[in-house]
Amino acid sequence: MTAPLPALDEILASTRIVSLPLATRFRGVGRREAALFEGPEGWAEFSPFLEYDDAEASTWLASAIDFAFNPQPAAHRDTIPVNATVPAVTADRVPEILARYDGCRTAKVKVAEAGQTLDDDIARVRAVREAMGIEARIRVDANGGWNVDEAERALHALSEFDLEYAEQPCASVEELAEIRRRLRDWDIPIAADESVRKAADPLRVARAGAADILIVKAQPLGGTRRALDIVQAAGLPAVVSSALDTSIGLAQGAALAAALPVLEFDCGLGTAALLAADVAEPRLVPRGGAISVARVEPVPELLDAHAASDERAAWWRERISRCYSTLVRPSIADALL
C-alpha cells in the first residue's frame, strides 16, 4: 500500500457528480455519469458503469484515490498516440465519427453488437478503411460477443481489411486460446480486455497463451501502479485504453501510458471525442493523433453546467461510501493501493 487511505469525508468534500451527453450512443447509453474529486495531487475520476456491483466498483475507487492523493510513476513520454473509436453505427455515419479524431492513424471499430449482423460489421469496417486509406491501422473490438465459431467466421470475413488485431472476440480465456490457435495462420493477433480488467486473476489469459496483447485500463485495474505490475508480469505488449472517461479520467490513462517502458501501439485514450460536452477546457481530445500527458483541472462553470440531478448525485455519493467501506478492509486495500 503506497499510503493510508484518506478519510471518506475528505473525498466527499470535493466530490462533484456530472452527467455528460454523448455525441452518439455508446454501450447503449446517451449520457455518461461520473464522480470527480480532488486530492493533493489533483483531480481524479470515479466512473464505473452503472451496472457494476460494489465489489467491482471499489477497484475503480481505489484507482481514483491513488491518482488524486499519490504521486504517479515517472513518465517516459509526454504525448500519447491514440486511436479513433468507431461505435456500432451504420456505415454511412463513419466519416462523421472519424472527423472527431484529428490526425488519428488508427481506428478501433466496434463489432458483434447485439441486434446487428456480420454484414453490418463488414460494412462499418469497410467504410473505415475507405475513409482512412490503406496506410491506416484498423482493429476490431467484439467485447466478447462471439463464440469461437462465430469469431472464426467473422474474422476471416474481416481479414480483407488488414486487421491490426481483434480485441476480446470471445468471452472466456478458453475461447480466446482456441480462436488464437485457429487464427495462427491468418496473422490476426488477439488482444484481451475483459479477460484482464474483469478477471479475478488478470494474468491467467497470459499464462494460458490466450492473447498476444493486453488491453489495460487504469480505473478498472485499481490504478497506474497495479496496471504496470500486471503488464510487467504478463510479459506482453500493452494498449492503454479508457472506459469512456471525462478528460479527468483520460489524464490518468495518459499517465499510465506514459509510464509504460515500451509503448508499441496507439492507445484508446481519444474517447473524449465521443462526448458532446466535457468538464475541462480545452478538452483532452486528439490533436495531431495524440493527447498530452498532464493533469487536467475541471472548469467550475462546466461542473455547474453539467451537474447531475440531486437524486443522481446522492446515488453516486452513497456508492462512493459503500465502495470506500470495501476498501478499508486491509486485505483489499493493500492489494489495490
Q: Is 198 a residue of the active site?
A: no
- According to the annotation, is 185 in a ligand binding site? no
Closest to 207 (Cα-Cα) out of 241, 164, 229, 174:
174
**CB–CB of 155/188 below 8 Å?**
yes
- According to the annotation, is 141 in a ligand binding site? yes
Residue with cell 458532446: 276
C-alpha dist (Å) from residue 97 to 72, 111, 126, 223, 278: 33, 15, 14, 30, 17
With 0-12 / 13-18 / 19 or more C-beta atoms within 10 angstroms meaning exposed / middle / buried, residue 257 is buried
Rounded to 5, what percent of the chain is helix, strand, coil? 40, 20, 40
Catalytic residue among 16, 32, 110, 180: 110
Strands 79-81 and 137-141: unpaired
Q: Is 108 a residue of the active site?
A: no
Q: 200: which 3 cell numbers?
A: 479475478
With 0-12 / 13-18 / 19 or more C-beta atoms within 10 angstroms meaning exposed / middle / buried, residue 267 is buried
CA distance 257 to 221: 14
- According to the annotation, is 167 in a ligand binding site? yes
Catalytic residue among 129, 139, 197, 217: 217
Q: Which residues pair with 36 in a beta bridge?
A: 16, 45
Amino acid at 69: F
Binding residues for Mg(2+): 141, 167, 193
Active site residues: 110, 217
Binding residues: 141, 167, 193
